[in-house]
Chain A
Amino acid sequence: LAKTTQPISMDSYEGQEVNITCSHNNIATNDYITWYQQFPSQGPRFIIQGYKTKVTNEVASLFIPADRKSSTLSLPRVSLSDTAVYYCLAIGQNFVFGPGTRLSVLP
């Protein structure tokens, strides 16, 4: 299983763009990169997934360089409600969560 490494925590202010980078040096050829968001006492919620280059949806963008050894989740214009833990997963066969990044959005 590919091991992922993310910053433990990040602070931002409302209206700013937030970029969270995840390292997955030993990612396998078949692994997709997927990001989840989790609020306290709730189950994780899927945000975005990608294999390479750039993926964008209504919530976020995901940037994956050609070597696929890292990825960056970009959250445009965050609000207080984006305060949560964000998990990066390099998924081959199953969903194994790393420690995640605790994002705090300040007013």
Chain B
Amino acid sequence: DTAVSQTPKYLVTQMGNDKSIKCEQNLGHDTMYWYKQDSKKFLKIMFSYNNKELIINETVPNRFSPKSPDKAHLNLHINSLELGDSAVYFCASRQGGNTEAFFGQGTRLTVV
């Protein structure tokens, strides 16, 4: 069983569209994250979320919004996609405290 799963794995879409990426974890973790990895391979945190608090990286445009229907899911919605949004998006989860995070396989988003 995959611990952290993301769908879709690949997403190609036109500028201006709205899209969502889904993430599910079956590890029972309290905290989930979204990271963006750009063409320079830098992994940048976008959001962290548990059932009590959402922390947003202030550099993330408000076109990006996380949605969490329950503790095991953290989906990423992106409105009005731009060319610069093209990147690999990784979902991750951890139990909290000082534990390590587990990552999904990533979603390669290409905006054309």
The judgment on whether A and B are partners is no
User: A-side interface residues toward B, CB under 8 Å?
Assistant: none
